[in-house]
């Protein structure tokens, strides 16, 4: 256990270079999450869970144990709480991070060994849930469907399979002819770099489009449905996702195109009443002002692509109101939005959320 290491794909190096990094402390995990070496709701959650497990191992080594008592040492408890605060501060919008951290923290308060077991369970559940999302979502995709997606919600963004792309992969593997429009997703270009790379690896026909091309394609009748992932879903169904999702939802609503959110129930936050209560992460303006890529010799360069001297605003997410969302694809099935706009009170609420909702509203 003392040599426990978390291995992960360094997503900032893709699609130009495939690199496996390792984190041996919870501080390393925090850096990986904050710097977006790890990104995507499920992957962030899994890494946060492993970070909490590593923190419990470190706290256990440093704690002064009194084996005559059953209670955990005070210094162990204090170290664990400090680590939890640091982990949860890395990305404030993604609910999976808080979900995973709490589960592993609660296990760590029993023992470091239980923390490790729980962290692995969180990761394994993420992969299993993503696979089920693909199976349920596949039922919504007809042969010949042209699907638009925003940001990356494939297997890079989760432990495996993904959410928004999982139904696409299932449809493709089942023999359906599907085509994907991948929004570039400025400023980090997750769609152009990660989604497109995944689709290429899977052999799925696709094309990268500018972020501002979606509405025009919809107006021309070239988009049959939109599927995106989510970073947090409020109790009323309002959904936070990568910046630019809202305008796709509005355009899809205008042209009568189904707009689906694919996410595991761990992304739903019963304690968050509406999108107005979701904290939106503000990232460094340099992500907008600069771009990075390789030259003809494979050497990476970072260049200024905006007006010198100008500043940039860089909100990482926006919130799509539930009224623009056709339904939610979860590991438990496809949940239509509630006519009353109150998703988690609706009869279609995923079963695993009903208890959480009752606890929060009691």
> How many whole angstroms separate alpha carbon 138 and alpha carbon 170?
6
> How many whole angstroms separate alpha carbon 73 and alpha carbon 71?
6
> How many whole angstroms separate alpha carbon 234 and alpha carbon 270?
6
User: 3-state DSSP call for residue 294?
Assistant: strand
Cβ(11)–Cβ(25) below 8 Å:
no
Phi and psi, residue 162, nearest 5°: 95, -170
Q: What is the DSSP letter of 195?
A: I
Phi and psi, residue 315, nearest 5°: -70, 135
302 class by beta-carbon count within 10 Å (0-12 exposed, 13-18 middle, 19+ buried) = exposed
Q: Among this protein's residues, is 70 annotated catalytic?
A: no
Q: Residue 134 is encoded by which pair of tokens?
A: 């693909």
Active-site residue (options: 129, 231, 238, 269): 231
> How many whole angstroms separate alpha carbon 94 and alpha carbon 45?
8
Active-site annotation, residues: 231
């Amino acid at each position: 256990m003392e040599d426990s290491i978390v291995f992960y794909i360094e997503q900032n190096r893709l699609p130009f270079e495939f690199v496996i990094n390792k984190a041996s402390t919870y501080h390393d995990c925090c850096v990986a999450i904050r710097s977006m070496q790890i990104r995507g709701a499920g992957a962030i959650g899994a890494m946060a869970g492993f970070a909490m497990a590593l923190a419990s191992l470190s706290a256990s080594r440093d704690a002064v144990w009194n084996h005559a008592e059953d209670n955990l040492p005070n210094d162990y408890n204090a170290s664990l709480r400090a680590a939890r605060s640091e982990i949860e501060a890395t990305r404030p919008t993604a609910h999976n991070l808080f979900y995973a951290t709490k589960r592993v923290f609660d296990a760590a308060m029993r023992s470091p060994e239980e923390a490790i077991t729980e962290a692995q369970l969180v990761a394994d559940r993420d992969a299993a849930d993503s696979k089920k999302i693909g199976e349920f979502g596949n039922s919504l995709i007809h042969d010949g469907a042209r699907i638009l997606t925003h940001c990356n919600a494939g297997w890079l963004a989760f432990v495996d399979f993904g959410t928004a792309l999982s139904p696409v992969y299932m449809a493709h593997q089942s023999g359906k002819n599907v085509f994907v429009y991948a929004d570039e997703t400025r400023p980090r270009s997750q769609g152009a770099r990660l989604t497109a790379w995944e689709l290429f690896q899977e052999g799925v026909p696709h094309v990268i489009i500018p972020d501002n091309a979606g509405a025009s394609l919809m107006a021309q009748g070239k988009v049959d449905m939109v599927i995106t992932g989510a970073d947090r879903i409020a109790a009323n169904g309002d959904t936070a996702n990568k910046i630019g999702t809202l305008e796709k939802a509005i355009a899809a609503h205008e042209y009568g195109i189904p707009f689906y959110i694919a996410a595991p129930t761990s992304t739903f936050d019963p304690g968050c009443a509406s999108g107005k209560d979701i904290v939106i992460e503000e990232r460094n303006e340099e992500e907008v002002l600069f771009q990075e890529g390789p030259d003809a010799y494979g050497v990476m360069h970072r260049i200024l692509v905006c007006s010198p001297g100008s500043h940039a605003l860089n909100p990482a997410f926006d919130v799509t109101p539930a009224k623009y969302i056709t339904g939610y694809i979860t590991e438990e099935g496809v949940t239509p939005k509630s006519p009353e706009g109150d998703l988690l009170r609706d009869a279609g609420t995923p079963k695993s959320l009903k208890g959480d909702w009752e606890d929060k509203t009691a």
